């Protein structure tokens, strides 16, 4: 049973940002916390009733969940939490290695000032996020960090392909595992922050090969989590990476 939210009344629950943004954040947190399981349907009418709001902002929030990669919309059926097969996760891991290392290398050559500044801002926003309540925001900033790195390559087609790949990488499942195992939270987030900073520093310094190396190391760390947290067979991940000489 999912936690119900009492009717907002003066909408104190939804005062800080637009209603659709607050509903998106509410649903995002529930997915990260495991309250919605992979493959579970997100019923627009039911959610609107739980929150005491109209269906329009709920529909807009669901659209954003789909665009952020946590959910998929099926024609004539509705929206459900994304459910990935082992094969899809393995393919996504290998594609991230291939695309992100290339993007980081190009970003270190291209070095667009506005995007480098955004990387610094994202790191500053991520650093204090160390509690379970921060997991949803942490996941969103993590996603944006990688999208900005790829955008900094200056290759719009690469950025478009990468976003498709990012939508099939189960980062929310890794965060959900940490949500259920809070003893792992601090060390995991500290390592992730250090790896992100190394990537950003290498790009800012124009060190192309170092930037690619840092990205490869970072995604390889996620491989360890895929194995430990989600039970993905390591031999499958290694074999797929070898196919691309990664």
**Helix 135-151 / helix 156-166 crossing angle, nearest 10 deg:** 150
**Structure pTM?**
0.83
Summarised one tens digit per residue, pLDDT across range 40-77 is 999 999 999 999 999 999 999 999 999 888 899 998 89
Q: Looking at residues 114-139, what average pLDDT do you find?
A: 94
Summarised one tens digit per residue, pLDDT across range 162-172 is 998 998 899 98
Give me the residue spans of the domains in the chain: 12-81, 86-243
Name the CATH architecture for the domain at 86-243. Answer: Up-down Bundle (1.20)
Q: Cα 64 from chain centroid? A: 13
Q: Looking at residues 177-189, what average pLDDT do you find?
A: 90
Question: Same CATH fold, 86-243 and 12-81?
Answer: no
192: nearest Cα among 219, 154, 170: 219
pLDDT over 90 (residue 244): no
pLDDT for 220: 93
Mark out the alpha helices in the chain (DSSP H runs).
19-32, 44-51, 55-67, 86-110, 113-126, 135-151, 156-166, 171-180, 185-204, 208-230, 234-243
pLDDT over 50 (residue 8): no
Residue 33 pLDDT level (bands cut at 50, 70, 90)? confident
Quote the CA–CA distance of 144 and 212 in Å, as a whole number: 18
pLDDT over 70 (residue 12): no
Quote the CA–CA distance of 83 and 36 in Å, as a whole number: 11
pLDDT for 16: 52
pLDDT over 90 (residue 2): no
pLDDT mean across residues, the chain: 90
pLDDT for 170: 92
Residue 246 pLDDT level (bands cut at 50, 70, 90)? low
DSSP state string for 102-149: HHHHHHHHH--HHHHHHHHHHHHHHTT--SGGGHHHHHHHHHHHHHHH
Pick the CATH number of 12-81 from 3.40.1260.10, 3.40.50.300, 3.30.420.40, 1.10.10.10: 1.10.10.10
pLDDT over 70 (residue 197): yes
């Amino acid at each position: 049973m999912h936690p119900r939210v009492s009717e907002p009344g003066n909408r104190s629950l939804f005062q800080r940002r637009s209603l659709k943004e607050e509903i998106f954040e509410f649903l995002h947190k529930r997915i990260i916390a495991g309250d919605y399981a992979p493959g579970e349907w997100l019923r627009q009418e039911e959610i609107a009733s739980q929150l005491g709001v109209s269906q329009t902002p709920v529909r807009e929030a669901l659209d954003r969940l789909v665009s952020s990669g946590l959910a998929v919309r099926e024609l004539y059926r509705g929206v459900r939490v994304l459910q990935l097969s082992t094969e899809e996760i393995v393919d996504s891991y290998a594609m991230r290695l291939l695309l992100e290392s290339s993007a980081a290398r190009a970003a270190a050559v291209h070095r667009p000032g506005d995007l480098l500044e955004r990387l610094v801002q994202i790191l500053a926003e991520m650093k204090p996020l160390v509690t379970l309540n921060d997991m949803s925001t942490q996941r969103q900033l993590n996603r944006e960090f990688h999208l900005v790195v790829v955008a900094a390559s200056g290759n719009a087609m690469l950025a478009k392909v990468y976003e498709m790949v990012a939508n099939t990488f189960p980062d929310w499942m890794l965060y959900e595992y940490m949500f259920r195992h809070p003893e792992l939270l601090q060390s995991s987030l500290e390592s992730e922050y250090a790896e992100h900073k190394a990537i950003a520093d290498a790009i800012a310094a124009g060190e192309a090969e170092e930037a690619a190396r840092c990205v490869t190391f970072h995604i390889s760390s996620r491989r360890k989590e895929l194995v430990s947290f989600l039970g993905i067979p390591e031999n499958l991940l290694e074999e797929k990476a070898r196919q691309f000489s990664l």
